[in-house]
Structure 1
Amino acid sequence: MAVYVIAGPTAAIVVAGIASVAQARHVPLIKKLFNSSSRVLSAGGGALVYLALDGPVGHELFAHIERALVAVAVTGVAYQLVNALLMCPVLWLERGASVVRSFLREVVVPTALPLLGYSLLGMILAVVWLGGLGVVAGLLTLVPLIVARWALSQDEAEREAQAATLRAFIQVIETKDLYTRGHSERVSAGVGMLGQHLRLPEDRQQALEHAGLLHDVGKVGVPTSIIRKPGRLDDSEMDAIRLHPARGVELIGNIPFLEEVKSAVLHHHEKYDGTGYPAGLSGENIPYFARIIGIVDAFDSLTSTRSYRPARSVEETLAILIQDKATHFDPDLVDAFVDVVRRHGWKAAADQPVPDGAKVQVIDHDDLSLGSSGGASGSAAGPA
């Protein structure tokens, strides 16, 4: 913002381009080109607004300070608006979220306060710089800014560490249970879509997506011989499978940022009529996140190929969920999920060849109660 006032709109565009390239040294080329282009275009949009408002340049500032304040504020909004218009389609293509929701959640909320702060800081820098302090002005304003950026980078590093923790868990799960590879990511994406539809606050949305990603983390505590056993499981083996929610809570129990995830991991196999496990909870006594995950978990299992059956179609699976409202699943959440999938579609698991059942029949534990005959041909839904 300071450059618009100190050197003019054209210089602001040039500085935006140089800064975007300098900050993107370790970014993939395509992303670097997109980020640089979006910043230059955003600066260009801001430049047009600054010119339209006859924003003062250089020492004209001191004769028109009120006009400068208005011009800088509106230019900042224009800059962010152009950036949003460029970013929202990308977010929509990547996550399936509406453009309006993407704009509010990904652009307005996280950038409104920083935008105000940068605009004010820009004005202060321009006033002090043009007032004759020059380099001293730069130091007076840039040092606090550098400290603030460092603090933000530390926060970003913490989020990266959290993401690495989640990826490590998922890697272990999918190494152990080959036939459900990608399942955790799809469940996380599905609950994320539903959470956005339900207009969850940003922090709750993130916790829900984490819960979807980690819902089966307790399978690492189940013997591999049981998870990969050909054919049906006996009662004792089923008991071992049913311990995986509790095992999951034990694994993530001491990780602070996953505190809200624990109840969802523990209870995602409860059923709305109280016939699920581990606690036999029913109705709204089942934690909200667990009810959401139970629906998406069953949906992804049914729409994925298993060794003993082909994948069901999306519409067939939605019909099963609707059929099992109020028995297995929360009726209102099923209606919401059906609406989300029909609006935005569903990225099902990649098709896999169905092996000869005589040679291999590794039963996915989420299929074990999907029907009266163990999930291969039944019509009722609900993960085990």
Structure 2
Amino acid sequence: MIPPVSLFGHDRQILQRLQRRDRYALLLYVFFGAVIVVAGEAAAINLSMVDRYGFMPLLLRGVIYLLLTLSLWMLLLRANRRLVTGLMAEKRRGYESILHAYDSALSLKDTYTGGHGRRVAHYTRLIAESMGLQETEVDSVSEAALLHDLGKIAIPDHILTKPERLTIDEFAVVQNHPAIGAEILQSMPSLRRHATAVRHHHERFDGSGYPDGLCGADIPLAARIIAVADAFDALSSNRSYRHGVSVDRALDEITQVAGSHFDPKVVAVITRKLARDALFAAHAEMP
């Protein structure tokens, strides 16, 4: 089975910022609290309170004050984080429902396309992790990969599910799906950040792709990664008009067009032995 795609890197960033803010607030409180306590103790000493009560009770009073108020601050900040985490979890459930609704809608139109998105998201995650991207970037590119064929919702069924190879005119219709998908995502605030990757996942490294003919580093990195993962799954999966090739054959075919179709750096990552073994094991477990 395909492991669930890890999502919500943006939410993780928010939580990390909250945690950093809380640490800074506590450090500032300890610093200023210590200044206040020391100033209070100095005043008490100058007023000769030490002669009457001794030094330890005064020092203990300051320590107890700091510990009690610090504990209260920690409880308040923790409660704040729990509240925010709960709100983010609620947002996450809504976000998940959008992604599942998209996947279900595509599966109703074309069973292959629905499963294809999940597999491409999985391969994309493997590639992104092997490239050493930050965890939030890995999450983001995986989300975009799951949505990369969203525009196929607008492609007529008789073209999308045609059992034979498409004609030139039919293929021209299919070529509209990246731009359509990007337009759909642009209209959805929670998914808008993925529009660029979805729009450009069929660009080619030499500029011969579509819809905008971008080349090289002008193509967003997320789109370059998705392009390789997309091609790998397309080659290695069975289609209505042909059988999928072996994993090694798929990787060899992708390597042959590195530098023209695909980013050589991304291809180098997917063809490394470690990545090859990981993809082979993952592919063997998938339907």
Partner of 1:292: 225
Matched, 1:207 2:140: yes
Change (3 A) 1:141 1:196: closer
Partner of 1:334: 267
Matched, 1:344 2:278: yes
Change (3 A) 1:155 1:283: same
Partner of 1:166: 99
What is the CA-CA distance between 1:112 and the residue it aligns to?
A: 11
User: Where in structure 1 are there 5+ consecutive unaligned residues?
Assistant: 1-92, 96-105, 132-136, 353-384
Alignment counterpart, residue 157 of structure 1, candidates 78, 83, 90? 90
What is the CA-CA distance between 1:263 and the residue it aligns to?
A: 1.2
Q: How does 1:255-294 map to 2 (within 5 A)?
A: 255-294=188-227
User: Where in structure 2 are there 5+ consecutive unaligned residues?
Assistant: 5-11, 31-59, 65-69
Give the Cα separation in 1 of the matches to 2:92 and 2:84: 13
Contact 1:182–1:349 at 8 Å: present in 2 too? no
Higher relative CO (Cα under 8 Å, sequence separation at least 6) belongs to 2
Q: Which has the higher helix share?
A: 2
Total equivalences in the alignment? 238
Letter in 1 for 2:120: V
- TM-score (norm. length: structure 1): 0.54
Give the Cα separation in 2 of the matches to 1:293 and 1:194: 9
Letter in 2 for 1:237: E
Which stretch shifts more, 298-307 or 173-182? 173-182
Give the Cα separation in 1 of the matches to 2:168 and 2:100: 32
Change (3 A) 1:111 1:252: closer
Letter in 1 for 2:278: H
Matched, 1:185 2:122: no
Letter in 2 for 1:271: R
Partner of 1:20: none
Which stretch shifts more, 211-220 or 196-205? 196-205
Alignment counterpart, residue 227 of structure 1, candidates 139, 160, 164? 160
Contact 1:303–1:349 at 8 Å: present in 2 too? no
CA deviation map 1:47-90 (0-9, x unaligned): xxxxxxxxxxxxxxxxxxxxxxxxxxxxxxxxxxxxxxxxxxxx
Structure showing greater Rg: 2
Task: Name the SS of the counterpart of 1:276 in structure 2.
Answer: coil
Partner of 1:310: 243
Give the Cα separation in 1 of the matches to 2:72 and 2:146: 45
Task: Name the SS of the counterpart of 1:185 in structure 2.
Answer: helix
Contact 2:109–2:157 at 8 Å: present in 1 too? yes
Give the Cα separation in 2 of the matches to 1:244 and 1:161: 25
Change (3 A) 1:317 1:230: closer
Change (3 A) 1:231 1:311: closer
Question: Percent same amino acid at aligned positions?
Answer: 34
Contact 2:202–2:210 at 8 Å: present in 1 too? yes
CA deviation map 1:25-56 (0-9, x unaligned): xxxxxxxxxxxxxxxxxxxxxxxxxxxxxxxx
Partner of 2:252: 319
Task: Name the SS of the counterpart of 2:190 in structure 1.
Answer: helix
Give the Cα separation in 2 of the matches to 1:241 and 1:194: 26
Letter in 1 for 2:150: V
